[in-house]
Structure 1
Amino acid sequence: MSNDDAFRWDGDDDPTLAVTPDADADAAEPSPEPDLAPQETDETTTEVAGTGNVALVAYGVLGGVYALWTVGWILGSGRVLDWIVAQPGSVPDPMYLASMVLAILAPAFWFGASLLLTRRKRAWLRFVALSIGALVLVPWPFVTVGVIG
């Protein structure tokens, strides 16, 4: 075979290369069709064939909201901590510091838990869980005090 063989049409009359409907059906074996129907795993759950594009975009948007909530908790609780430290003779309570850390981590935990616990459930249940978390985990110190308040 020489380098010029790629520029010629020699050998293209092979019946296995034909893609037209009038090609000989016995010449090429048909590829098996994938089974896209949901498969029963047990009585209560069904396995979903795949996640659609709209669902993936919605997960990304909700993930961005949870990331913004994490940043809001960092900024808002840091602002409240600065206010506590600025008071004369005041020292932040270790319980406040622990709750501040948990509040900062809560959006990430909720997002991960929602995705993990609704893995084999219907998609609308996952969106309900993520929407409830987006409403419950609003960074109230940031909303009420702000960063410069």
Structure 2
Amino acid sequence: MPSRDDDALRWEGDDDPTLDARSETAAEPGEPSEAPVLPEGWRAVGAGSETVPEDDAVEPAPAQGLGNVALVSLGVIGGVYLLWTIGWFLGATRLRERIEQSTNAVADFMFQGSMWLAIASPLLWFAAVLILTRRAATWKRIVLLLAGAVVLVPWPFLMSGSFIVVGG
């Protein structure tokens, strides 16, 4: 006689009583059956079950994630913010040399604090928009990120002769 493992590969043995999933007291297909035995803390839902109390009401399905276009947009804008951070770092370090040579210690101290805030501002703006607009519409998030990209342009980098002027 073949083993039970081999039975899965054959059609014969369907009348084996040990494989019968129904018990002797199970109802026929048209008859009502008694409620299944569930572990503690579980309850049956669906056809033939009791109504769900309001305090145990099912929560609505979570909102769908971002679409492909939104994810690509966030990636591109995130790359722009990373470039802005690098631009602020390069521009601010060039200005730092001029400030240290021409001013006193108080101005230098004030410049150091504002320089590091300026360098961190693109990353802080990006993180703040992503965190604070989690439940907002995607278009609002994109508009705020684009507005920040315009406002946070690294002017010291752009104005300190970083570009090669053609014909000039």
Give the TM-score of the pair, scaled to structure 1: 0.65
Partner of 2:125: 110
Q: Within 5 Å, which residues of 2 pair with 1:65-104?
A: 65-87=80-102, 91=105, 92-104=107-119
Secondary structure in structure 1 of the residue aligned to 2:136: coil
Task: Note the 1:1-149 alignment, pairs <5 A.
Answer: 39=60, 48-87=63-102, 91=105, 92-147=107-162
- Which runs of 5 or more residues in structure 1 are unaligned? 13-38, 41-46
- The amino acid that maps onto 1:66 is Y
Deviation at 1:54, TM superposition (A): 1.1
Which structure 2 residue ranges, 5 or more long, are not aligned?
A: 1-5, 12-59
Q: CA RMSD in A?
A: 3.3
TM-score, normalising length: structure 2? 0.58
Contact 1:75 1:147 in 2 (8 A): no
TM-superposition CA deviations, 1:95-129 (whole Å, max 9, x none)? 11100000001011100000001000100000011
Q: Is the 8 A contact 2:80 2:149 kept in 1?
A: yes
Task: Give the whole-Å Cα distance in 2 for the aligned partners of 1:49 and 1:148.
Answer: 44
Identical aligned residues as a percent: 49
**Aligned partners of 1:140, 1:54: CA distance in 2, in Å?**
30
- The CA deviation string for residues 64-119 of structure 1, in whole angstroms up to 9 with x for no partner, is 000000000000011111122344x6555211110000000101110000000100
The one-letter amino acid of 2:123's match is A
The number of residue pairs the alignment matches comes to 114
Quote the offset at 1:11 in angstroms.
5.0
Shift of 1:48: 2.7
8 Å CA contact 2:88–2:118 kept in 1: the answer is yes
User: Contact 1:79–1:147 at 8 Å: present in 2 too?
Assistant: no
| Alignment check: 8 A CA contact 2:99 2:108 kept | no
